[in-house]
Structure 1
Amino acid sequence: MPFSRDSVLPHLYVNGRFLGRSVTGVERFAHMVLDRLHDRQPADGRAPGVTILAPPGIERPAKWPRFGFRTVGSGGGHRWEQLSLPAAAKGGVLVGLCNSNPVRPRRALTVIHDAAVYDFGQGFARSYRLLHRTLGRILARRSHIATVSRFSQARLAAILRLPLADITVIPNAADHIRAIAPDPAILARHALTPGRYLLIVGSFAPNKNLPRTIAAFQSIARPEDRLVLVGAAVKSFAANGIDSVPDGVILPGRIDDESLMALYANARALVFPSLYEGFGIPPLEAMQFGTPVVASTIAPVREVCDDAALYCDPEDATALGTAMRRMLDDDDLHLRLSAAARARALAFRWEDSADRLLEAVAAIG
């Protein structure tokens, strides 16, 4: 049931530490949910129901004039979060949208996006892994926990020893990208033919499975085929034991959102071969354009993509290659999955995510 706009809520204090970082998937979640909450704030000058609390050096975001904003304490990072932030949030509920929060406040909501530090520890530095494993276990006893998928809900419940129902699911969405006008100049720049290239959006992080996927592409590629990797750099190939960028693989480098939207809109398919995810945002972004997905069989990706993807075992290079070749060659399959992708994209909206956040805050009281 949608959140009732007439409900009486406590004041929301937002942990603004994320505003000092680059916008990746976790920070995008925070921005989008806050955008939708801001749309609901009164414009008549009354006291807002949301106040962002930020460490020194972070400027007030111009796009949220109806929110309160306060610079509190000194320093930054985890030290600021644990020592300076709690006192500033007294009298309301402190919301941490990006995997961390102070451990002192009892009236708090913390969004932990996945269980990767516990399940896929090899993807993190030892110090980061130890810190966030410890922090997560403490927050599970001190804060209300939310996450972005039923898969992550189940994993966190098992690891943190919480009842499943005590963890709120607040999904990601991608409907914000409909407001971004694609810039097709990137296709000409890299000699890409619309509908004749495969796209990967991801880095060489271990869970993204790129070396195996590149090898799979090489095994099935014809001279005219292209695989476009957004997010991977040339130096990453050497670090992963690949001497040079393979034929047919295109690296656009750092690109803006308009260029990325053009790549999504004109790709034959998105390839998303992850070994581990908490959600899987790129498939949902691709589906906004009706672009089909060659997807890993892991549970969170199935949760997001449902029947709008061609699935394959991410640890089987032969299966990956076969799926890519089939998506390039089978027009009937492509047409069916394109229609399914457009329909699936409608199931995720940031407006609904904001409602779920407010439902969770209302339950804290």
Structure 2
Amino acid sequence: MSEPGADREARVVYVNGKFVAQRTTGVQRVATALLQALDTRVPAGRFVLLCPPGGDAPVLHNIAVRRVGPRGLALHLWEQAVLPWAARDGWLLSLAGAAPAFARRHLAMLHDAAVFDCPWAYRPAFVRWYRWLFRRLGRRAVALLTVSEFSRQRLQAVLQPAAPIFVVRNGADHLQDVVPDASVLARLGVAGRPFVLAVGSSNPSKNLPALARAHALLGPDAPPLVVAGGRRDRVFGDVHWPDTPGLVLAGPMNDAELVALYRAATLMAFPSLYEGFGLPPLEAMQHGCPVIVAPIPALLETCGSAAACFDGTDPQAIARGLRTLLDDPARRRVLAQQGREHAATRRWDAAAGELLDVLLVTGAVPELS
């Protein structure tokens, strides 16, 4: 491991831009929002986003954008071979989970320890690769970053890294200015109707089929359950959906569609059995949607007292939690207000400040003047 503060002559911080060429899920959204917030706080000339050719980089003003490597190269090979060579004269900052194994002066954000804690949710090859990569990063990186105290503790326990682990908590304001596309409501058959919303990828640990089974227990008069999220069959284990009435598998949503769903939903249910942070509940809160979650450590840390809870391991308990909120509009109004207030305390500008503190402590950014 490089010593913190070593190689201070390397004044440029390169940012791993692999995420700009990927479909946006949680880690890509975090990387984009954090980078855009960082862009407002740093002087020009100190940071460079290194992207694969063809990647759609976010709009930045002080962070330069440079595309490196040949077109058509697989993203994994680009990250492991092209990126560390392009960043060899500076520091490298990886924010989206995956990271090059052999980079020098490297700071890497690992969002959770899920490949160690719930390997059953992933394909075996994915587990083997990421376990090896995370262990190597723990030995070789100057510092590790993560998104919650829960994740910090779990990564510390499973990796026992030589590198220190710093927490940079996610913000919730990345969708606040998005204009909703209400046409999605008619397309999904819920325009003007109450409905329960769930947001998450087809990862078994998200526990969404259990939510669907619980929803079926509410009976034929229950409002529809809309599940928004995509599939990544090469990454996640199989998910088996029950054949139940009222279940709407909406697939992946763009930001405008997602905001429309958050604003129109009667409530948002998040039954996940494992999270490193849990961003969708905060997104829902930011748009005034009452939230109910499984009381796992990361979600309790993220949501505080602004969300209701149900036992995510028991469909009967999930159904009771849903029914209680569906039958209590006054409680939903209280949760919506508490959620807005709570989400307002989670800002990406504050996250960028935490990240800058880490860069200063490690010597990646000796000073910003």
Q: 1:174 deviation in Å? A: 2.2
Q: 1:128 deviation in Å? A: 1.4
Q: Are the aligned partners of 1:9 and 1:361 in contact in 2 as well (CA < 8 Å)?
A: no
Bigger shift: 179-188 or 266-275?
179-188
Q: Distance in 1 between matches of 2:343 and 2:242?
A: 38
2:26 corresponding residue in structure 1: 25
1:152-185 Cα distance to aligned partner (Å, 9 max, x none)? 111001011148x921111122202111012223
Q: Distance in 1 between matches of 2:102 and 2:75?
A: 16
Segments of 4+ moved more than 6 angstroms:
none
CA shift in 2, pair 1:106/1:255, >3 Å: closer
Q: Distance in 2 between matches of 1:194 and 1:48?
A: 50
2:210 corresponding residue in structure 1: 212
Paired AA for residue 153 in structure 1:
R
Matches within 5 A, 1:141-290: 141-143=139-141, 144-162=143-161, 166-192=164-190, 196-231=194-229, 240-242=239-241, 244=243, 246-290=244-288
Q: Are the aligned partners of 1:294 and 1:311 in contact in 2 as well (CA < 8 Å)?
A: yes
Gaps of 5+ in 1: 1-7
Matches within 5 A, 1:295-314: 295-314=293-312
Q: 1:277 deviation in Å? A: 1.0
1:77 counterpart = 2:78: no
Q: Are the aligned partners of 1:196 and 1:328 in contact in 2 as well (CA < 8 Å)?
A: no
Aligned CA RMSD, in angstroms, stands at 2.5
1:127 corresponding residue in structure 2: 125
CA shift in 2, pair 1:221/1:11, >3 Å: farther
1:64 counterpart = 2:65: no
Paired AA for residue 63 in structure 2:
F
TM-score by length of 2: 0.86
Q: 1:10 deviation in Å? A: 3.6
CA shift in 2, pair 1:285/1:89, >3 Å: same
Q: Are the aligned partners of 2:19 and 2:96 in contact in 1 as well (CA < 8 Å)?
A: yes
Q: 1:34 deviation in Å? A: 1.2
Paired AA for residue 35 in structure 1:
Q
Q: 1:149 deviation in Å? A: 0.9
CA shift in 2, pair 1:344/1:20, >3 Å: same
Q: Distance in 2 between matches of 1:240 and 1:83?
A: 34
2:5 corresponding residue in structure 1: none
Q: 1:311 deviation in Å? A: 0.8
Q: 1:324 deviation in Å? A: 0.3
Q: 1:272 deviation in Å? A: 0.0
TM-score by length of 1: 0.87
2:3 corresponding residue in structure 1: none
Q: 1:79 deviation in Å? A: 3.5
Q: Distance in 2 between matches of 1:37 and 1:304?
A: 22
Say which structure is richer in helix: 1
Q: Are the aligned partners of 1:9 and 1:362 in contact in 2 as well (CA < 8 Å)?
A: no
Q: 1:362 deviation in Å? A: 1.1
Q: How many residues align?
A: 347
CA shift in 2, pair 1:66/1:59, >3 Å: farther
1:54 counterpart = 2:55: no
Q: Distance in 2 between matches of 1:260 and 1:302?
A: 23
1:348 corresponding residue in structure 2: 346
Q: Are the aligned partners of 2:47 and 2:63 in contact in 1 as well (CA < 8 Å)?
A: yes
Q: Distance in 2 between matches of 1:353 and 1:333?
A: 31
CA shift in 2, pair 1:230/1:11, >3 Å: same
Q: Distance in 2 between matches of 1:276 and 1:253?
A: 21
Paired AA for residue 28 in structure 1:
R
Bigger shift: 188-197 or 259-268?
188-197
Q: Distance in 2 between matches of 1:28 and 1:290?
A: 20
